Amino acid sequence: MNLVFEEIKSLEDNRFFLFFRNYLKPKFLNCELKIALIEDNIDYLDFYSNRFGIARFNCDTRDFTANSWEKEDYVQGLSELSKHYTSINLNSHEDSYFALEKIIPDVQYYADTDLKDFISKILNEPIKSINGFTFIQKIIRK
């Protein structure tokens, strides 16, 4: 099942978000791509992966921020009846390599051809405008 355009959220001052989502089952999100726009310019892309974590690509600075989910390996036993995670590992910070090799490919796997092409161009070329991406322009103009 593909990432499907689900909603557009408008904010004041010509800002809005486009959400493309894929669910494992009703109300259980598998992955998501959030495109943040200011008018016709792309501000950032958020990638959500149920398996690996969350990454953001900032189109101005061309930088990534990424966080991974907790892993069972990080659990520490307090006793036979109780376990906890150390705070340093909660939603731990990851580098751009983790975003590019784990989170983003997991989200792209569920994208259709237009969305895969869009993601690749934004990540690999200094593009900030949605001009030329007709499928996004159609969503916005509705």
Quick: pLDDT tens for 5-18: 988 888 877 889 99
pLDDT recorded at residue 87: 42
Residue 110 CA to residue 108 CA, distance in Å, equals: 5
Quick: pLDDT tens for 98-137: 999 999 999 999 999 999 999 999 999 988 888 889 888 8
Quote the pTM value.
Answer: 0.83
Q: State whether the Cα torsion 65-99-122-113 is positive or negative.
A: negative
pLDDT recorded at residue 56: 96
Residue predicted with more confidence, 140 or 50: 50
Q: Report angle CA 22, 26, 31 to the nearest 5 degrees.
A: 25
Task: Name the band, by pLDDT with cuts 50, 70 and 90, for residue 65.
Answer: very high
Helix (H, G, I), strand (E, B) or coil at 105: helix
pLDDT recorded at residue 48: 95
